[in-house]
Amino acid sequence: MNPDTLPEELESLVEEMARHVHDTWMRRRMAEGWTHGPRRDDRLLTHPCLTSYDSLPENEKDFDRATARATVNFILSNGFSLIPSGKHVPRTIS
């Protein structure tokens, strides 16, 4: 399987995983004291991507999508299957 392509039915999973990757990163950064700012500043602990996934520029979403896509491809290439249960667990951000 080409590492850049997945079956169409997995693309929505990739998008949800990308959102989760971003939300997890954001929560971790905020727990470390980082806040949203106009540019990344390691001294002031500010970062422009400390915002909702929907507010990110496409290039930042693409970074998270690439991480999610690589994870899904890794799972599939190691012989596992991804089968939807039909149950959707609501997303929460804590």
In the chain, the number of structural domains is: 1
Residue 67's domain comprises 8-77
Average confidence (pLDDT) over 15-22: 96
pLDDT at 72: 94
CATH of residue 62? 1.10.490.160
How large is the angle between the packed helices 11-31 and 58-77, nearest 10 degrees? 110
pLDDT at 94: 46
* % of the chain surpassing 90 pLDDT: 72
Is residue 43 one of the residues assigned to a domain? yes
Is residue 83 one of the residues assigned to a domain? no
Question: Which pTM was predicted?
Answer: 0.81
CA distance 24 to 8: 25
Is residue 94 one of the residues assigned to a domain? no
Is residue 12 one of the residues assigned to a domain? yes
Is residue 22 one of the residues assigned to a domain? yes
Average confidence (pLDDT) over 59-80: 94
pLDDT 10s digits, 26-57: 999 999 999 999 999 999 999 999 999 999 99
